[in-house]
Copies of this chain bind each other. A is one copy, B any other.
Amino acid sequence: MGETRGRVQVQLTDAFWKKKVEVVQREVIPYQWKALNDEIPDTEPSHAIENFKIAAGESSGDFYGMVFQDSDVAKWLEAVAYSLEHTADAELESLADSVIDLIGRAQMEDGYINTYYTVKAPEKRWTNLRDDHELYCMGHLMEAAVAYYQATGKRKFVDIMSKAADHIDSMFGPEEEKLKGYPGHQEIELALFRLYEVTENERYLSLAEFFINERGREPHYFIKEAEERKDERKFFWNGKFGYNQSHLPVREQTKAVGHSVRAVYMYSAMADIVAKTGDEELRRATERLWKNVIQQQMYITAGIGSMEHGEAFSTDYDLPNDISYTETCATIGLAFWARRMLKVAKRGEYGDVLERALYNGSISGMDLDGKKFFYVNPLEVVPELNRVRGEHHHVKPVRQPWFKCACCPPNLARLITSINHYIYSEEENELFVHLYMGNDSVMTVGGEEVRVTQETNYPWEGAVKLTITPSSGKNHAFTLAMRMPGWCASGQLSINGERFDIGDNIKDGYVYINREWAPGDIVDLYLPMEVQLIHANPKVRENFGKVAIQRGPVVYCIEEADNGPNLHTVSVPMNPASYVASFEEGLLDGVVSISCVAEKIELEALSEGPLYKAAEFSAASTRTVTLKAIPYYAWANRGEGEMRVWLNKLK
């Protein structure tokens, strides 16, 4: 194992994200620790730590919780690891060390770790990959181990998980005596890849490839496995293996189907492998699936998985706003995938989707205080319907304190605390800037250290200032490549005050600046943040004749708190210049709100009227209103009320 080669040296200074990281540190991580230890009154116990104690033989009792309960501990540890990168915290680190020790003690002699099977049925290990999440849980523990090693330099957790990976490798693989199985919930693939990156153990890369390649082959492993355990439910999820993307060999898949989190975790691993191996067939499959998701199945908020049934992708262009599922974890997974696609190719569209996910449908999952969470992120809410209609029951008009199936809050915690990992990437002699947020960093480019500081008030303002200082104090030639966001039609760039021509140096959404950088060189990027009225492809039935408001990467919504009820009667003007954006310090922790003069139908007078008539109802009752829109991610922070992203166009 090499040095802590991936160790991140990007210190966040960003106003927007630092606040979110602090909320996670202050609220989410401590709260989740209590939850894992069943110290939250009046909630379903988690039992997750207790499960490890029982598995380690240090406590008595039975396993309790979901079959994937171990992953909650893993995600907590991963978030703790990232948190320690931002802020040293001896007490927290010591707590994490003790949990890692406990995991080690719960590990079986042969390397296997899974409290459910260890406690309940050790003889039945690896007999139900389809449903039982053993590989999934070990995958999350591997991710946590890698993060903890990168944050602290401590190897113990990576050693534990390497032993687990070695055990898995002894059980699964192309060799005749090994099982040809793969997980019912993907995660191990990308985790093995991360473990490979820090350990450089090629077997982990091969094993990740094996899981990807074996998936969906005939004879179908899940059928064979079910027959062997005499499981009469020969098919899972209504007979459709599409639910877990094993309906076809991965390389033959062309459309995103099934459980969206499973899907994007798998696509992430595919991108990892493609970037590493250059596997051309897998690259084509990965890019096909990317195109399908982004061009046919993604909400403007980067929400994906529009169906509650199966928490799944629906069909092309089926993106209902009111009964969407759009799980927080799925958008987080989309960010994971987008980030990895940037390793496959430096294309602006990957960064655009990453940015769309980060500023919209992921962080909408948490309230401003880090105390309440959305599992489901709809684009249109009328609270009464969520109480009355069965089809809306999964949609909550306000965030909930915690979940029994607690996947989203800890997933958000690890995304937010690792946000600094998403900003840059280094390739040979190039430094790529994918995201704009304040930070002070030391990068290695072309074999030399370079200090890069970024100053910006993004996402509220489009000015970004980069200061470049080779650590040697001498000039250093390398290419700086900066993403030109898809939402920005015409940015400007200057170096040390001198204009740099973007048009001549742009390729696939990145502007390439190849020069000999002198200490203190300053790059000023200016991305005009106009209010934009976004149209959906008319194939999207639900958005036909509507527009959404976007400014920079931030998608807006209107809320009852600002605009009263009956938001469906609002029609907005079609000239972007008639919208006014202004930063409001005191609103929702400080946001840019957007106002315009709109029309709204006065409905109060109609309560006694007929339902239908052969004439307009509205003529007499249309009134002009000043409409106020707020960032979508910040909705439902002021009590319950209507919300809507897509708005009628004024004629």
On whether the beta carbons of A389 and B309 are closer than 8 Å, the reply is yes
On whether the beta carbons of B535 and A295 are closer than 8 Å, the reply is no
On whether the beta carbons of A538 and B389 are closer than 8 Å, the reply is no
A18-42 vs B, CB cutoff 8 Å, 1 = contact: the mask equals 0000000000000000000000000
Closest to A614 in B: B532
Does A467 interact with chain B (Cβ within 8 Å)?
Answer: no
On whether the beta carbons of B487 and A614 are closer than 8 Å, the reply is yes
Point out the residues of chain B lying under 8 angstroms from A533, CB to CB.
Answer: 614
On whether the beta carbons of A538 and B601 are closer than 8 Å, the reply is yes
Q: How far is the CB of A90 from chain B (nearest CB, A)?
A: 47
Q: Give the contact stretch, choosing among A331-339, A504-512, A604-612.
A: A604-612
Point out the residues of chain B lying under 8 angstroms from A390, CB to CB.
Answer: 307-310
Interface residues of A in 516-544 (CB under 8 A from B): 532-541, 544
Point out the residues of chain B lying under 8 angstroms from A314, CB to CB.
Answer: 385, 388-389
On whether the beta carbons of A535 and B615 are closer than 8 Å, the reply is yes
Point out the residues of chain B lying under 8 angstroms from A541, CB to CB.
Answer: 382, 568
Q: How far is the CB of A439 from chain B (nearest CB, A)?
A: 29
On whether the beta carbons of B294 and A611 are closer than 8 Å, the reply is yes
Point out the residues of chain B lying under 8 angstroms from A532, CB to CB.
Answer: 614
Contacts A307-B388, A538-B606; is A611 near B569 (CB within 8 Å)?
Answer: no
Point out the residues of chain B lying under 8 angstroms from A501, CB to CB.
Answer: none
Closest to A609 in B: B537
Partner of A535, one of B298, B310, B616: B616
Partner of A613, one of B294, B385, B388, B534: B534
Partner of A388, one of B318, B615, B617: B318
Does A492 interact with chain B (Cβ within 8 Å)?
Answer: no
Does A384 interact with chain B (Cβ within 8 Å)?
Answer: yes
Does A580 interact with chain B (Cβ within 8 Å)?
Answer: no
Q: How far is the CB of A506 from chain B (nearest CB, A)?
A: 18
Chain A interface, number of residues (Cβ within 8 angstroms):
56
Does A651 interact with chain B (Cβ within 8 Å)?
Answer: yes
Point out the residues of chain B lying under 8 angstroms from A308, CB to CB.
Answer: 390-391
Does A315 interact with chain B (Cβ within 8 Å)?
Answer: yes
Partner of A534, one of B295, B389, B536, B614: B614
On whether the beta carbons of B612 and A537 are closer than 8 Å, the reply is yes
Q: How far is the CB of A239 from chain B (nearest CB, A)?
A: 13
Interface residues of A in 281-295 (CB under 8 A from B): 294-295
Interface residues of A in 360-389 (CB under 8 A from B): 382, 384-385, 388-389
Q: How far is the CB of A247 from chain B (nearest CB, A)?
A: 14
On whether the beta carbons of B544 and A648 are closer than 8 Å, the reply is yes
Point out the residues of chain B lying under 8 angstroms from A538, CB to CB.
Answer: 569, 601, 603, 606, 617-618
Point out the residues of chain B lying under 8 angstroms from A385, CB to CB.
Answer: 314-315, 318
Point out the residues of chain B lying under 8 angstroms from A611, CB to CB.
Answer: 294-296, 298, 300, 536-537, 540
**28 sample A-B contacts, Cβ–Cβ < 8 Å, listed by A number:** A294-B611, A295-B608, A295-B610, A296-B611, A298-B611, A307-B388, A307-B389, A307-B390, A309-B389, A309-B390, A309-B391, A314-B385, A314-B388, A315-B388, A318-B389, A323-B391, A487-B614, A533-B614, A534-B613, A537-B606, A537-B609, A538-B569, A538-B603, A538-B606, A538-B618, A539-B603, A576-B614, A651-B651
A→B interface (CB under 8 Å)? 294-296, 298, 300, 307-310, 314-315, 318, 323, 382, 384-385, 388-391, 487, 532-541, 544-545, 548, 550, 566, 568-569, 576, 601, 603, 606-618, 648, 651
